[in-house]
Structure 1
Amino acid sequence: MFCLTQGCSALLVLLTLHFCHGGNILVIPAEGSHWINMDILLQALHSRGHSLTVVRSSKSWYIKENSSYYKTLSISVEKNIDEKLINNVMKETVEFGRGTLPLTGFVHMTIGMIGIFKDFHAVLCEFVSAMLDDPALIKTLHESRFDLVLADPCWGGGAILAKYLNLPLVYMGRWLIVEEAHFSIAPSPLSYVPVTGSGNTDRMTFLERVKNIFFYLLTYVQNDVLAKQIY
């Protein structure tokens, strides 16, 4: 009788278990501080049993080639962005946000940011082209039978690769290449919806709304004039 009770208890436990399998995920990250957020997400996905393959540049700054929780595919490229230049521009951005950078410095910073965005997109295009022009790599990606592409939305590489491999695309955030995602998919009047980087809230004074329009025009130049032309 005791053995029968134990057997029924074990069967009941088995029936209450939820069986599932981890996904096979292809990861297209971005460099710099964006990688910090992606890395945290990858660790969480790994702890839940998902298999992760990270595509990285051979000249990556922070994305390690060897990791205990993801595999890597390193793509050989010739170009890279000057990390010191980006650090200087980021420093000026922080100073402007604190109100310690004069207007002339802001103009210099803005021009520098536009140049960096242009260079970044050009480097990324070379990166994606190197992948698509490698038949052996593309064959490996197809044979790996990935379930989806997890990408950083700030650059277009993830979307291009997901389209080419005919895989679902999941963004790790809602910030698109140079703008808030809602501006692309929903009505977003500039008098009420703050532009990314403006520091505004949904309650703006007249001057803050003027500032919001200025930042929107800046993102338009970066997205429609620079990025789209490069891609």
Structure 2
Amino acid sequence: MMRVHLKSSNDVMGMCGGTAVVLRRILCLLLLLVFIRGCHSNGIRGGRILVFPEDGSHWLNMEVILRELHSRGHNLTVLRSAKSWYIPQNSPVYTSITVNPAPPPAGEDLGPDFYTILMQRSLKLRRMLPVLRFLEQQKDTAAMLMMFHSEALCMISTILDDSVLVAKLRVSRFDLMLTDPAFPAGVLLAQYLGMPMVYNVRWLNAGEAHMTVAPTLPSYVPMYNSLFSDNMDLLQRTENFLRYLVILLQEHLVILPLYVNLLQRHFPPGADLLSMQRSADVWLMRVDFVFEFPRPTMPNVVYVGGFQCRPAEPLPADLEAFMQSSGEHGVVVMSLGTLVSALPKEVTKAVAQAFALLPHKVVWRFLGERPSSLGNNTLLLDWLPQNDLLGHPKTRAFVAHGGTNGLYEAIYHGVPVLGLPLLFDQFDNVLRLQVRGVARVLEAATLTTEDFLEALRDVLENKSYRHNMQKLSGLHRDTPLSPLASATFWIEYVMRNGGASHLRTEAYSLPWYSYHSLDVAALLLALSGASIWASVYVCSRLCCRSSRRKTKLE
């Protein structure tokens, strides 16, 4: 009987143990459900995001955001042109929709060769007298804007005229449009589909995006391609004001009229492009105030400059061996970005000769014919891991064209810069670093071996450049959230809340004369004039009455 009793006790204990296991599993399951619910309530659930990017270097930083969003469980769909030369059709990160737009009326191919032609034209303009250069630049800019916007117009016209594609996009019920609004095809599509919208932005229409979203005073905010800082003398402020007027004229006389017919065909009466552009919920601005000059801003502008930067990863074995072979002198890294495949031969020869005279090793991203003046210390690569090279302890300086992607990587890793700007905003970008004492800037149009060698030695040997850049790097990193984390937070914020209209100012709905308080000034002037007139009238009447009394008494 005793044995039977003991066996029964073991059975009971086994049953109790089994029950405890079941209870623990149920508790774990409940905790998991609570966690998932909490994730949903915090907007971490996978959203459906439609992405309308721009090509070229703009795509490179957009792709960084897409990879982060994908890692957080979001479903991404990318609209791309069949003529795209950077945005791949197949990707593990997103599903693509490829559109084959009709060719623009100008028929210009805006591929890589186009940018090489632009560079050659830019170098030619740099050799002109300042006044002639300014006039030629404005003419070229207007023509270029017409070409780029004509291409964007063809893209969005093809999409909106395709009823099957539009129906497919509507049925997909996207939570958000993420777009680069440099050209407004994505903006127009988001408005047509009635979607919340977030910008990954630096440029918009004919100028810098702040001009559209925030007060921009030309007295201390330098205009695009002005090559001025925020500290201008009278003549510089005069030129800056003229550039401001030219940008407004290009926007209203060249760009906005292009889209009038499209708006009339696909949108309600009274729709205008500028209002649509200002309707974005959040502007992820690809700068910060470590790089950009201080200026007014708005609550829905979030600064995410350098979001593509990350700690350096180990280099391939052969490249690491080359870096280590530099000894105490270290390495100079040179890259001219994605748009221009090669410099003119005379510039390439001057640069190669200067490199050959250095005791340092050089890693040069180079496409084209090998320079005859190349030294044994220089390694040519058709592609290089730029971020990882800039983060390598052997890297001493970065020779760059001035694109913001590369400059922010230099800031992040604390590497001083020798700027060799070629196109677009590159001249303004390297100027910002020069003003902060972390860069030298050279003129590629008149470059000689002696000029390049002197400037590069100055950057390498003058410790103030590295010291100032390391200080700038510390300021750039000293933030509560990394730029990429901030970008993803605000994208998810807009999805969680179905938009962020409470962050948009009512200034956008005011007519221009009310925005500048000209109607108030007119009212006050009228009241002041009426008061003065009434005072003069009363005084004249009293004087007349007094005069008549005096006459009667006499």
With the shorter chain as reference, the TM-score category is 0.7 to 0.9
3-state SS of the aligned residue for 1:149? strand
Amino acid at match of 1:171: Y
C-alpha deviation, 1:61, in angstroms: 1.7
CA–CA separation in structure 2 for the residues paired with 1:197 and 1:207: 16
CA distance in 1, matches of 2:115, 2:139: 12
The separation in 2 between residues aligned to 1:64 and 1:167, in whole angstroms, is: 25
Q: For 1:111-145, what per-residue CA distance to the aligned partner results, in whole angstroms no more than 9, with x for missing partners?
A: 33321210111111111111011111011001111
| Superposition deviation, residue 41 in structure 1 | 1.6
Deviation of 1:164 after TM superposition, in Å, equals 0.5
Unaligned runs of 5+ in 1: none
Residue type matched to 1:205 in 2?
D
CA contact (8 A) 2:126 2:133 kept: no
Q: 1:19 aligns with which of 29, 33, 39?
A: 39
Residue 182 of structure 2 contacts residue 202 of structure 2 at CA under 8 Å; is this kept in 1?
A: no
Cα distance in 2 for partners of 1:61, 1:11 equals 48
Q: 2:112 aligned with 1:86, yes or no?
A: no
Question: 1:107, 1:89 → 2: CA distance?
Answer: 16
Provide the secondary structure at the position in 2 that maps to 1:221.
Answer: helix
CA RMSD of aligned residues (A): 2.8
* Native 8 Å contact 1:86 1:116 kept in 2: no
Quick check: 2:79–2:98 contact (8 Å CA) kept in 1?
yes
Greater relative CO (CA pairs within 8 A, separation 6+): 1
Alignment of 1:44-83 (within 5 A): 44-79=68-103, 81-83=109-111
**1:67 to partner: Cα distance:** 1.0
Q: Indicate conservation of the 8 Å contact 1:89/1:113, yes or no.
A: no
The answer to whether residue 102 in structure 2 is matched with residue 102 in structure 1 is: no
Query: Aligned residue for 1:40?
Result: 64
> Residues 178 and 219 of structure 1 are in contact (CA less than 8 Å); yes or no, is this contact kept in structure 2?
yes
**Contact preservation (8 Å) 2:145, 2:206:** no
Name which of structure 1's ranges 80-89 and 38-47 shifts more when overlaid on structure 2: 80-89
- SS of structure 1 residue aligned to 2:255: helix
Q: Which one has the largest radius of gyration?
A: 2
| Per-residue deviation, residues 59-118 of structure 1 (Å, max 9, x unmatched) | 11211111111111111123263332333324655x59xx95433456444433321210
Residue 141 of structure 2 is matched in structure 1 by: 113
Deviation per CA, 1:159-203, whole angstroms, max 9, x where unpaired?
A: 110111010111112532222333234332210122233333322
> Superposed, which structure 2 residues align to 1:160-175 within 5 Å?
160-175=188-203
Aligned residues: 228
- For each residue in 1:30-53, what CA deviation from the matched residue of structure 2 results, as whole angstroms up to 9, or x when unmatched? 122211121122112112111111
Q: Quick one: distance in 2 between partners of 1:215 and 1:91?
A: 23
C-alpha distance in 2, partners of 1:185/1:33?
23
5+ residue gaps, structure 2? 1-15, 260-554
The answer to whether the 8 A contact 1:142-1:165 is kept is yes
Confirm or deny: 8 A CA contact 1:27 1:149 kept in the other structure.
yes
2:169 to 131, 141, 157: 141
Q: Which residue of 1 aligns with 2:222?
A: 194
* Aligned residue identity for 1:120: F
